């Protein structure tokens, strides 16, 4: 069936609701828009769905949500009656249609005989992950598009361990979804009937209480928190789901001078006060910093709509004037890693078999910090699902003890009761770390500088090229193909010098082909990579400490080609200068391939 045929069905068949049909009839003369909406099904990737809201098979709507839910339901049914009874935990954030999509998911599961635990109000990603484990559910669903702009929503799937669904399970769910090429064949069930039959169960405060209690067991240096309990803190939930759980845990552990940005407190899927609800963007904390100036706050932080990312800014003085500066995700992750390991070492609670996790595109200074404390560092591919897998393998079913995990995109995790990045525990830890620093007479900037002086200066940045629509996705794919083709043509170290249009390339890791190409001795030597296959090219660039790198990968959740850079040096000035040069050279080189 052609995309035009599918469009005709969706725009005219009364199975589809009136709003859907009217929206589609309104684009009847726009051939390109019709093609973009119907030329394919919205892709179900390794974590689920994410896309622009609207009518069509390539959009987020009640029908694509029902299709994903039917595919997941069939997967659960295939795992037997016990899996069906254990069911699915479902939560949602503040985005447009998130509550409606969660309800559609629940009624679809119920129609196939799968029990659904449905949150009675918006709750964030970490609480959904926790809920899967709390109820002993077989799977979980979180309706969210994380930090994307308002026009997006998504559908994230979790496994029984509370981590994002495995690649194998995702493939099986996708195969099941393909059986529902005609969404009119998907079963559904009346919501109230499903409630009466016990196939849908609403959950609420009992999970809040248990989750908060779990977090209190992860508090570090309680004495410092007690002494600094009156420090002024500003928090913004950016119109999202973090508001209640973050405020609850900070109050529980003793912080009693927390100010909430009033204009950003109430959930709102339009996110009217920010360009994008992403705490990675310093602009998202603008209103928080304004309130911090009024309240003389020492710390400002914000969480994204599903509260799995956290960004922070801290008070400092420059030339006698008070200002607030933001930290990068790598800087916060590095400080938290040092804070947790050092505090546990001092308290005598750091286990001999401890390990931490980060990703291949996060700061390389983690290795030096872990070595200082005798802790193993594991690197994973980009995506917190891989950190969750390491917790399952090495802590839950192994003999090692997980301490902390983070990725450069402002995601952090402590403890093992949640298996995805958790901005609630991160907020608790950041406030505790600030309290400890102030208790010692230092700022967070002093703390970071102390780490840099001990382990070397490290600076990382990322550049994203956004290309939306069918043509944009094709160009991103073509650019990666071109980079990979150039790599495969290298036969000498001199050839490698031409790979990025400037930076010296010592080696390249092609994670899609599981091969590392080493050019360091003038020839080309290859070794096998053991991480899972992924469309990622990581370039090793050498540098003062031999740790400089750059990386190219398509985003797994947005129509973007992402370029990452990391530079490390004993000199701050040298590191910053070299980073700027590499960023300019490689960005220009890649941008040419996207034209």
Contact call for residues 337 and 435 (beta carbons, < 8 A):
no
- Distance from C-alpha of 194 to C-alpha of 109, rounded to nearest angstrom: 10
Contact call for residues 91 and 132 (beta carbons, < 8 A):
no
Q: In this structure, what token pair is assigned to residue 583?
A: 């960023």
Q: Which residues contact residue 235 at a Cβ distance below 8 angstroms, ignoring those fewer than 6 apart?
A: 246, 247, 250, 258, 259, 260, 261, 288, 300, 301, 302, 303, 427
User: What is the per-residue DSSP string for 80-139?
Assistant: -HHHHHH-EEEEE-SSTTHHHHHHHHHHHHHHTT--EEEESS---HHHHHHHHHHHT-SE
Active site includes 146?
yes
Beta partners for 569?
457
- Distance from C-alpha of 257 to C-alpha of 278, rounded to nearest angstrom: 25
Selected catalytic residue, list 11, 91, 131, 146: 146
Contact call for residues 594 and 475 (beta carbons, < 8 A):
yes
Contact call for residues 409 and 71 (beta carbons, < 8 A):
no
Q: Which residue has the tokens 């339901």?
A: 73
User: What is the per-residue DSSP string for 212-278?
Assistant: HHHHHTT---HHHHHHTTT--EEEE-TTSTTHHHHHHHHHHHT---EEE-GGGTS--TT-TTSSS--
**What is the distance in angstroms between the CA of the first residue and the CA of the last residue of the chain?**
32
Q: What are phi and psi of 228, to 5 degrees?
A: -115, 25
- Distance from C-alpha of 573 to C-alpha of 569, rounded to nearest angstrom: 9
**Angle, in degrees to the nearest 10, between helices 329-347 and 365-372:** 0
CA 159, distance to chain mean position in Å, is 16
- Distance from C-alpha of 581 to C-alpha of 590, rounded to nearest angstrom: 14
- Distance from C-alpha of 311 to C-alpha of 438, rounded to nearest angstrom: 19
- Distance from C-alpha of 261 to C-alpha of 240, rounded to nearest angstrom: 12
Question: Which residues carry out catalysis?
Answer: 146
């Amino acid at each position: 069936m052609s995309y035009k045929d599918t469009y005709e069905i969706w725009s005219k068949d009364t199975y589809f609701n009136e709003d859907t049909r009217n929206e589609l009839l309104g684009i009847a003369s726009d051939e390109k828009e019709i093609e973009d909406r119907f030329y394919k099904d919205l892709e179900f990737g390794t974590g689920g769905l994410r896309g622009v809201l609207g009518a069509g098979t390539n959009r987020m709507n009640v029908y694509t949500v029902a299709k994903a839910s039917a595919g997941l339901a069939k997967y659960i049914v295939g795992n037997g009656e016990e899996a069906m009874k254990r069911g699915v935990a479902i939560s949602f954030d503040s985005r447009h249609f998130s509550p409606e999509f969660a309800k559609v998911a629940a009624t679809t599961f119920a129609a196939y005989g799968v029990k659904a635990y449905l949150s009675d109000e918006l709750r964030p990603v970490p609480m959904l992950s926790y809920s899967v484990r709390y109820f002993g559910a077989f799977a979980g669903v979180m309706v969210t598009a994380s930090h994307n702009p308002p026009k997006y929503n998504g559908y994230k799937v979790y496994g029984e361990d509370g981590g994002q669904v495995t690649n194998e399970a995702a493939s099986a769910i996708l195969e099941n979804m393909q059986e529902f090429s005609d969404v009119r064949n998907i079963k559904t069930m009346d919501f109230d009937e499903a409630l009466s039959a016990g196939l849908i169960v609403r959950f609420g405060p009992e999970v809040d209480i248990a989750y908060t209690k779990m977090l209190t067991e992860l508090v570090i240096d309680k004495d410092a928190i007690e002494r600094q309990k009156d420090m002024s803190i500003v928090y913004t939930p950016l119109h999202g789901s973090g508001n209640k759980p973050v405020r609850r845990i900070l109050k529980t552990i003793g912080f009693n001078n927390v100010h909430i940005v009033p204009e950003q407190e109430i959930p709102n899927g339009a996110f009217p006060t920010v360009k994008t609800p992403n705490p990675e963007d310093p602009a998202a904390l603008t209103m928080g910093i304004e309130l911090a100036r009024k309240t003389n706050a020492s710390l400002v932080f914000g969480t994204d709509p599903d509260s799995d990312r956290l960004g922070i800014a801290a008070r400092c003085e420059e030339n006698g004037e008070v200002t607030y500066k933001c930290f990068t995700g790598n800087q916060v992750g590095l400080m938290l890693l040092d804070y947790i390991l050092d505090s546990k070492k001092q308290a005598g609670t750091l286990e001999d078999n401890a390990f931490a996790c980060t990703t291949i595109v996060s700061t390389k200074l983690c290795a030096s910090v872990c070595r200082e404390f005798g802790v193993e560092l594991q690197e994973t591919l980009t995506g917190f699902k891989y950190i969750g897998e390491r917790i399952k393998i090495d802590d839950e079913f192994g003999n090692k003890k997980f301490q902390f995990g983070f990725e450069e995109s402002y995601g952090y995790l402590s403890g093992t009761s949640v298996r995805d990045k958790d901005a609630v525990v991160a907020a608790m830890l950041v406030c505790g770390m600030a309290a400890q620093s102030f208790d010692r007479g230092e700022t967070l900037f002093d703390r970071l500088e102390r780490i840099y002086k001990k382990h070397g200066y490290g600076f990382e940045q990322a550049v994203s090229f956004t290309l939306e629509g069918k043509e944009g996705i094709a160009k991103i794919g073509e650019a990666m193909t071109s980079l990979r083709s150039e790599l495969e043509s290298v036969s000498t170290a001199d050839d490698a010098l031409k790979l990025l249009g400037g930076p010296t390339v010592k080696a390249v890791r092609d994670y899609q082909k599981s091969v590392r190409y080493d050019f360091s001795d003038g020839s080309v030597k290859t070794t096998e990579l053991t991480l899972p296959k992924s469309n990622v090219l990581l370039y090793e660039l050498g540098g003062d400490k031999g740790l400089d790198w750059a990386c190219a990968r398509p985003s797994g959740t947005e129509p973007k080609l992402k370029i990452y850079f990391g530079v490390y040096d004993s000199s701050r000035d040298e590191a910053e200068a070299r980073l700027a040069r590499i960023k300019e050279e490689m960005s220009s080189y890649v941008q040419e391939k996207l034209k």
